[in-house]
A and B are shown apart, each in its own frame.
Chain A
Amino acid sequence: MTDTAYPLPPYAQALNMTVVDEIDGAPVIGMPFADRVQGRPGFLHGGAISGLLEIAAIAAVHRALQAKGSDSAIKQVNVTVDFMRGGLGQMTYAVGEVTRLGRTMANVEARAWQDDRDKPIAMGHMHYLIKAKREDAT
């Protein structure tokens, strides 16, 4: 990962997630199919799809904060995931869109897809708390 100062978390690395592209300034995260992300045989586990959505959402918020010159840390408040299609045994992508970045919170929508971005397998809606600058945080 060379295009952002924010390294992917150990959890994301354990599931072999990588930054594969960028859409509208937000990193696209790719996750290959493997036994460790499988739910019922041949399909992705909903938790692994949710994890991919969250990693994409967090990466999008960090990128949006960077663009504002902010080094604030963030804290996840909640997430709602809609599962629309079964995730098949293949590469899955996700990207987050920061729909609003305020001083105290960020609203994010994240989309996960496989072959066709217009046919999402899942969408996530997240709220993040924007914390004080890292050096001021207690």
Chain B
Amino acid sequence: MVSRGPDLGTLLPPGAGFDPAMVNKVMGQFGHGGFLNMQYVGHGADWVELSIDWREDLVADPNTGILASAVIISLMDNATSMSIWTKLGEFRPQATMDLRIDYLRPSPSGKRVYGRGICYHLTNSIGFVRGFAHNGNPDEPLAHASGTFIRTGDRVS
């Protein structure tokens, strides 16, 4: 049985505003975000930071305990996606068009990983994002991300 979970479009109609902490209670507790137990850390006008705690079942290699790289992708996907809605000031349905991650170093065993997503440009249809992941000190990033999202419903004019 797969629980469908709440739908953001229903929860947040246009004009309802956008609160990343509240929205992460949906995206971080249901589905894949819930499995990874994504936590809200903070946000600004055009960025959102989330975190994931290290867990034994999220590792790539049991001998080293380093996190699977896909955990970083999921973290950056959610953080960058939410940075667009934060900059827009409201929720709009969108899909990830592409996402690139450069892995500067592994995320070590036992360490919480933080992901900051930044929306640096918006057009009517596209959100351009970048971001980085770190273990607590943003000056020591472990991965960089860049990508684009396309709005799948109404455009913003």
Contacts and interface: CB of A to CB of B under 8 A. Distances in A.
B129 interface: no
A34 B3 CA distance: 9
Contacts of B96: 46, 81, 83
A34 B74 contact: no
Interface residues of A, number: 34
B74 A51 contact: yes
Q: How large is the interface on B (under 10, 10 to 19, 20 to 34, 35 or more residues)?
A: 35 or more
Contacts of A35: 2-3, 5, 30-31, 34-35
Q: Which DSSP category, helix, strand, loop or mixed, fits chain B's interface? A: mixed
Contacts of A46: 73-74, 77, 96, 99
Nearest to A79: B101
A11 B5 contact: no
B102 interface: yes
A36 B68 contact: no
A54 B67 CA distance: 13
A48 B103 contact: no
B13 to A, nearest CB: 16
Nearest to A125: B100
Given A9-B68, A47-B73, A77-B102, A36 B4 contact: no
Interface of B: 2-8, 30-36, 56-62, 67-71, 73-75, 77-78, 95-103
